[in-house]
Amino acid sequence: MTDNENNFPQAPATSSLLEERHDAELFRVYSRILDGITDHNLRPGNKLTESDLCRQMTCSRSTVRSALSLLAHDKIVDLLPNRGAFVHVPDAKETQDVFKMRIALEETIINMLLEEENLAEKAKPLYALIDQEEAAFNRGDRVSWNRLSNAFHVELARLLNNDVLLEIVNTLCARSSLIIAVFDAPKDRLRHTYCEHREILDLLVEGKKARACKMMRRHLGQCQARLLRKFEAEA
């Protein structure tokens, strides 16, 4: 059952946070595949058959191929010679690399935000987003919860009005979502993400740079450590 069927506001899909790239039809197909992967409907390792995608999305094979090429560039899909396209399966090193970059980049975002005027006013929509995230968690809506958890980090970067930074953050968050799809599960998250998001935002609004950076490192670092333990256990 969807958010709308439950009379809850629609959680923003990963693609809705992106600036439209290329022509509208290509972006539509790219977005549909990306959202299927980041919502964990298309699992890591799943084959993406061009004919099936054309039928599902009512589009040409050339559009599907172009969308898959863009997703391969973004490390969301793997294109294997003579085998086709597959949802990317991340490994332990990629997990470390992605989360190290996120920690460094999101600390930089905190530092830049603290130079902004009227930060408390600009941050108000993020508090509403966190409230939606908490509500999604409490009603057991994992898709919306994952979307809103991802959206918090993207929207935090959006406050800086820097398109290049926003594109990088969105790509890293999408790759993080794919990594989480491999091994993570709701029961593994002992501390609810919305609690940590609210704490980070409170510290930012209060101008407590050191504590806000420390909380962000802890927030992302714990997720990284949990995922790496899973990789080690599976290995």
Whether residue 109 lies inside any domain: the answer is yes
How many structural domains compose the chain?
2
Q: Are residues 194 and 106 in the same domain?
A: yes
Q: Are residues 126 and 225 in the same domain?
A: yes
In the sheet with 47-48, reading across from the earlier edge strand, the strands are 47-48, 84-87, 77-80
Q: Are residues 106 and 42 in the same domain?
A: no
Whether residue 6 lies inside any domain: the answer is no
Residues 6+ apart with CB under 8 A from 102: 153, 172, 173, 176, 220
Q: Are residues 49 and 109 in the same domain?
A: no
Please name every residue paired with 77 in a beta bridge, in sequence order, or none if there are none.
Answer: 87
Q: Are residues 134 and 30 in the same domain?
A: no
Q: Are residues 149 and 167 in the same domain?
A: yes
Cβ pair 101, 131 in contact under 8 A:
no
Question: What is the per-residue pLDDT across 158-190, written as a single tens digit (0 to 9) for each?
Answer: 999 999 999 899 999 989 988 887 766 555 454
> End of a domain among 25, 53, 87?
87
Question: What is the per-residue pLDDT across 5-52, written as a single tens digit (0 to 9) for each?
Answer: 344 456 777 777 676 666 889 999 999 999 999 888 898 999 999 999
Whole-prediction pTM = 0.85
> End of a domain among 67, 87, 107?
87
Residue 7's pLDDT is 46
CATH of the domain at 23: 1.10.10.10
> End of a domain among 87, 120, 148?
87
Instruction: Please give the DSSP secondary-structure letter assigned to residue 1.
Output: -
Structure tokens at 218: 């802890």
Residue-range definition of the domain harbouring residue 55? 14-87
Distance CA 211, CA 16 (A): 31
Name the percent of the chain lying above pLDDT 90: 67
